[in-house]
Amino acid sequence: MPTGRGESLSGHSRVPPRRATENRQMMRVVALIPAAGRGRRMGKEIPKASLSLGGIPLLWHTLQKFEGCTQVDEILPLVPPKEVSFWTDEIGRRSKLKKVQRVLAGGEERQDSVFLGLKAIAGNADWVIIHDGARPFVPPELIERALSETRRWKAVTAALPAGETIKEVSLEKEVLRTVDRGSLWIIQTPQSFEYSLILSAHEKAREERFCGTDDASLVERLGIPVRVIEGSRFNFKITTPEDLILGEALLQYLK
């Protein structure tokens, strides 16, 4: 397994993009797992990806979910620059992750990390599925469904319909109005795209210095429709100490 930052994939020739109608075996899918966040809301010095969940690093759980996905050919984690050596050694020591061929340093922001990942897989991906490293309970069937739908729609995101009352509030914390939640969805990852489409969306965002809160928003700016599929309530993002407590409880429940 390559250990250097940004080393090329070994044993893979350049794979040109192909139409969605071609055979599955002719399409190459890469999973990008941005996990370079410092986890400020955790109140800990250790990077969020390395936090313990059930006795092993949080990111490890997420990588395992994609390892078991039959449609995914390669997994590329993007971690804090100072953590590249740690994760390279960790993954090399745990031989179960065959699809992780290298580990790359992420950027300052999540969007920067994804862009670095997209550039690193140029010529070696037809489809890309992007998933937050801090969502370790993503159901494998959701990954498979997102990729299947992407072959029809080119841009897909997991989401949940808003189930609670939502109000717009002023900077002074005064309620301005109650929003009709009928058409509101809470966005999750995975988000899956045709490679050339998401690369173009990221390049345009960088040119215009636009920073979105997710990758789908960058595609929306191109005027391309994004398909929503229903996600999972288990697929929450671990960002606070309370989330980590819930994660430990869910891990025990799912055993």
Question: What is the model's pLDDT at position 34?
Answer: 98
Tell me the whole-structure pTM to 2 decimals: 0.87
Per-block average pLDDT, block size 10, for the chain (255 residues)? Answer: 41 40 66 88 78 94 96 97 92 85 95 98 97 97 98 97 96 96 96 98 98 97 98 96 96 92
Q: Which amino acid is at 204?
A: K
Question: What is the model's pLDDT at position 22?
Answer: 43
- DSSP-based three-state secondary structure for 30: strand
Question: What is the model's pLDDT at position 73?
Answer: 97
Q: Which residue has the tokens 């690193």?
A: 120
Question: What is the model's pLDDT at position 47?
Answer: 85
The C-alpha atoms of residue 86 and residue 82 are separated, in whole angstroms, by: 8
The C-alpha atoms of residue 232 and residue 42 are separated, in whole angstroms, by: 23
The C-alpha atoms of residue 219 and residue 199 are separated, in whole angstroms, by: 9
Q: Which is it for the CA torsion 123, 221, 186, 145, positive or negative? A: negative
Question: What is the model's pLDDT at position 93?
Answer: 81
C-alpha distance from residue 174 to each of 154, 179, 180, 208 (Å): 40, 14, 18, 33
| List of domains in the chain | 26-254 (3.90.550.10)
Using alpha carbons, select from 159, 155, 145, 158 the residue that is nearest to residue 223.
155
